[in-house]
């Protein structure tokens, strides 16, 4: 496809062929060295990534950063064992050294299995790229940041500080698998962030909002979207200026639609990742077919939503992504799998094998995780609560997958008194037990929303982009970590 700049966006296959001389011989040669003997599976993961970041602070555009990262990760599996290595050079020689290192997991010497490399395969096309997001001229990005800065300040004179940033990524990957399959993907990623400080007398509070996804940059340049971003950040800071301390103890909690779906990510999603369940270290181990949620709850992980931050055409092992039902009408149906764990558990991979970069090993990870909408009117859900908490924005969360205990921290919350939202309260951490929390869901709204495209999931020190979604829900009896 032609871009506005007259450049051609290359397919991953052509890019690695032209840049590094990647061809069937190079892939076949390295795979043959890697495989054979006790090695059951393995792959080569070629990556070329450009990241650009730009920030505006107090109206001055600064911190232009442009990083280029290239390399190849090599992996060998033998039963439950994984050997992996990487090289920052993409040459036949460095591939050979990396293959030898990856093979060190097996007690034998060089590999000897010949691998015939097949023609590249096409998967989904969830995020067509008309121009690498990192090639959008700096001037275009600068004018958008100036617009966000201006709009955030215009909302209230108490906004005294604004920092806005845009980060873009253009990532090409090419995966050569043990079965000779070669799969490429070109992955765009953009994210806008705005954070601001509001001050009133001695009191200062912050507000934050973000938006993004795997889309062509022009999709983000929509001015009304930026105005909404500015509005969300500024309102949060202003609202928190008058927030009271949050209460402490057990309350009925109403979670608003969208980003509060982080509840599902922490409480359910991590515990359903295949590696933990194969090893029997998750609170959800051996619970397929059991009731783990109220019948109102159906939870999905779906890597095939067009343009979403957590979506992928193929996962980082070249498996096509899919829609996986995790919980159906309250019953646990499935786990999230990569190749290694699905092979060992005797089930099909689900397209959830992910790695942050060629330098990292692959694990089962979430993509976009959300709960399907129910029948209740969101107003009716609020009206049903006598005394409780309504939370609509959250910071991060964390889970102990073995005990099942999880937390997630509200950044914007309100007291509900006699069915009405009364006053804002300070953010507080909510804590619960994963296998138990969804059994307490007593109402599910008809207003499913996906988040704005800001999620980043951490596991084993690796960060990958993810999405979440939720309709308005009522959870009976959740512990709220306030101070009074």
Partner 1 sequence: MSSVPKLTERSMDLDRARDLVTRAQRLGASDADVLFVEGDEFSVTVRRGEVEQLHGARSRRLGLRVFVGGQVATGATSDTTPGTLERLVSDLVANARAMGTDPAAGLPSQADVATSPPDLDLDDDIFERLSMDDRIALARRAEEAATGADPRISNSDGSTFAFDAAHRIYAATNGFAGEYPSTTYSLVSRPLAAENGEMQRDYYYTVARHFADLEAPDAVGAEAARRTLRRLGAQKPATGEVPVVFSPETASRLLGAIGSAASGAALYNRASFLLDRLGESIAAPIVEIRDDPLEVRGLGSRPFDGEGVATRSQAIVSGGALQTYLLDTYSARRLDARSSGSCRRSTEGSPSAGPHQMRMTPGEHSPEDIIATIDNGLYVTSLIGHGMNLVTGDFSQGAAGLWIRGGELAESVEECTVAARLQDIFMNIEMIGSDLELKRTVSAPTLKIARLMVAGQ
Q: Which stretch binds partner 1 (CB under 8 A): 3-11, 82-90, 126-134, 377-385?
A: 82-90
Taking CB under 8 A as the rule, does residue 361 contact partner 1?
yes
Handedness of CA 224, 230, 231, 236 (dihedral sign): positive
Q: Which stretch binds partner 1 (CB under 8 A): 65-73, 111-119, 228-236, 440-448?
A: 65-73
From the list 4, 8, 23, 65, which residue makes contact with partner 1 (rule: CB under 8 A)?
65
CA dist 232 and 209 (Å) reads 6
- Residues 387-406 binding partner 1 (CB under 8 A) are 395-400, 402-403, 405-406
Alpha-carbon 395 to chain mean position = 14
Cβ atoms of residues 356 and 387 within 8 Å: no
Cβ atoms of residues 263 and 255 within 8 Å: yes
Q: Which stretch binds partner 1 (CB under 8 A): 156-164, 219-227, 375-383, 462-470?
A: 156-164
Name the minimum Å distance from CB 57 to partner 1.
Answer: 8
Name the minimum Å distance from CB 465 to partner 1.
Answer: 17
Q: Which stretch binds partner 1 (CB under 8 A): 67-75, 114-122, 211-219, 286-294?
A: 67-75
CA dist 480 and 420 (Å) reads 19
From the list 91, 114, 143, 281, which residue makes contact with partner 1 (rule: CB under 8 A)?
281
Query: Binding mask 110-139 vs partner 1 (x if CB under 8 A, - otherwise)?
Result: ----------------------------xx
- For residue 8, the SS3 value is strand
Q: Which stretch binds partner 1 (CB under 8 A): 10-18, 100-108, 209-217, 380-388?
A: 100-108
- For residue 173, the SS3 value is strand
- Residues 363-392 binding partner 1 (CB under 8 A) are none
Name the minimum Å distance from CB 332 to partner 1.
Answer: 17
Taking CB under 8 A as the rule, does residue 103 contact partner 1?
yes
Cβ atoms of residues 226 and 461 within 8 Å: no
From the list 8, 64, 154, 348, which residue makes contact with partner 1 (rule: CB under 8 A)?
64
Q: Which is nearer to partner 1, 6 or 461 (CB)?
A: 461
How many other CB atoms are found less than 10 A from the CB of residue 446? 15
From the list 287, 426, 442, 459, which residue makes contact with partner 1 (rule: CB under 8 A)?
426
CA dihedral defined by 134, 140, 142, 146, rounded to 10 degrees?
-140
Taking CB under 8 A as the rule, does residue 60 contact partner 1?
yes
Name the minimum Å distance from CB 248 to partner 1.
Answer: 4
Name the minimum Å distance from CB 133 to partner 1.
Answer: 16
Q: Which is nearer to partner 1, 180 or 395 (CB)?
A: 395
Taking CB under 8 A as the rule, does residue 286 contact partner 1?
no
Taking CB under 8 A as the rule, does residue 18 contact partner 1?
no
Distance, first Cα to last Cα, the chain:
59
CA dist 146 and 137 (Å) reads 15
Cβ atoms of residues 44 and 33 within 8 Å: no
Name the minimum Å distance from CB 246 to partner 1.
Answer: 7
DSSP assignments along 88-139, one per residue = SS-SHHHHHHHHHHHHTTSSS-S-----PPPPP-----SS--SS-GGGS-HH
From the list 165, 298, 324, 409, which residue makes contact with partner 1 (rule: CB under 8 A)?
409
Residue with tokens 């064992």: 81
CA dist 411 and 239 (Å) reads 11
Nearest to 55 by CA among 165, 140, 161, 197: 165
**CA atoms within 13 A of residue 289's CA, in its CB half-sphere:** 1
Name the minimum Å distance from CB 285 to partner 1.
Answer: 8
Name the minimum Å distance from CB 76 to partner 1.
Answer: 9
Name the minimum Å distance from CB 123 to partner 1.
Answer: 28
CA dihedral defined by 33, 35, 39, 42, rounded to 10 degrees?
110
Name the minimum Å distance from CB 48 to partner 1.
Answer: 10
Taking CB under 8 A as the rule, does residue 105 contact partner 1?
yes
Cβ atoms of residues 349 and 181 within 8 Å: no
CA angle (56, 59, 63) in 5-degree steps:
30
Name the minimum Å distance from CB 210 to partner 1.
Answer: 15
CA dist 371 and 444 (Å) reads 9
Q: Which is nearer to partner 1, 108 or 422 (CB)?
A: 108
- Residues 204-263 binding partner 1 (CB under 8 A) are 204-206, 246, 248-250
Taking CB under 8 A as the rule, does residue 199 contact partner 1?
yes
From the list 432, 445, 453, 455, which residue makes contact with partner 1 (rule: CB under 8 A)?
432
- Residues 315-334 binding partner 1 (CB under 8 A) are none
DSSP assignments along 402-447, one per residue = TT-EEEEEEEEEEEEETTEEEEEE---EEEEEHHHHGGGEEEEBS-
Residues 6+ apart with CB under 8 A from 97: 85, 87
Name the minimum Å distance from CB 482 to partner 1.
Answer: 6
Name the minimum Å distance from CB 390 to partner 1.
Answer: 17
């Amino acid at each position: 496809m032609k871009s506005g700049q007259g450049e051609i966006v290359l397919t991953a296959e052509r890019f690695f062929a032209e840049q590094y001389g990647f061809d069937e011989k190079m892939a076949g040669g390295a795979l043959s060295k890697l495989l054979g003997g006790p090695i059951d599976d393995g792959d080569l993961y070629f990556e070329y990534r450009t990241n650009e970041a730009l920030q505006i602070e107090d109206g001055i555009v600064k911190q232009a950063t442009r990083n280029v990262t290239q390399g190849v990760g090599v992996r060998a599996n033998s039963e439950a064992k994984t050997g992996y290595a990487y090289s920052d050079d993409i040459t036949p020689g460095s591939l050979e050294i990396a293959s030898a290192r990856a093979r060190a997991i097996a007690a034998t010497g060089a590999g000897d299995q010949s691998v015939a490399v097949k023609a590249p395969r096409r998967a989904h096309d969830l995020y067509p790229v008309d121009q690498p997001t990192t090639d959008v001229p700096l001037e275009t990005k600068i004018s958008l940041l100036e617009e966000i800065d201006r709009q955030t300040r215009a909302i209230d004179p108490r906004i005294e500080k604004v920092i806005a940033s845009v980060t873009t990524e253009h990532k090409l990957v090419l995966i050569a698998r043990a079965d000779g399959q070669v799969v490429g993907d070109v992955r765009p990623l953009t994210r806008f962030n705005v954070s601001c400080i509001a001050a009133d007398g001695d009191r200062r509070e912050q507000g934050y909002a973000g938006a993004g996804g795997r889309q062509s940059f022009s999709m983000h340049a929509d001015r009304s979207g930026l105005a909404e971003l500015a509005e969300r950040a500024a309102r949060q800071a202003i609202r928190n200026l008058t927030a009271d301390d949050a209460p402490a103890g057990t309350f009925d909690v109403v979670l608003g639609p969208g980003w509060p779906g982080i509840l599902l990510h922490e409480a359910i999603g991590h515990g359903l990742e295949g590696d933990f369940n194969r090893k029997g270290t998750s609170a959800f181990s051996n619970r397929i077919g059991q009731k783990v949620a109220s019948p109102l709850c159906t939870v999905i992980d779906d890597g095939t939503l067009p343009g979403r931050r957590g979506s992928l055409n193929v996962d980082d092992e070249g498996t096509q992504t899919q829609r996986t039902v995790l919980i159906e009408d309250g019953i646990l149906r499935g786990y999230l799998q990569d190749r290694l764990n699905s092979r060992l558990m005797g089930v099909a991979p689900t397209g959830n094998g992910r790695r942050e970069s060629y330098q990292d090993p692959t694990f089962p990870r979430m993509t976009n995780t959300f709960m399907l909408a129910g029948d209740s009117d969101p107003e009716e859900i609020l009206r049903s609560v006598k005394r409780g908490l309504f939370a609509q924005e959250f910071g991060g969360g964390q889970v102990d997958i073995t005990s099942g205990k999880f937390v997630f921290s509200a950044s914007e919350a309100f007291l509900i008194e006699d069915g009405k939202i009364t006053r804002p309260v300070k953010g507080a951490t909510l804590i619960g037990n994963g296998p138990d929390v969804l059994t307490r869901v007593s109402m599910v709204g008809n207003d499913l929303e996906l988040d704005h495209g800001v999620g980043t999931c951490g596991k084993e020190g690796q960060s990958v982009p993810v999405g979440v979604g939720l309709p308005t829900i009522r959870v009976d009896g959740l512990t709220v970590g306030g101070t009074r």
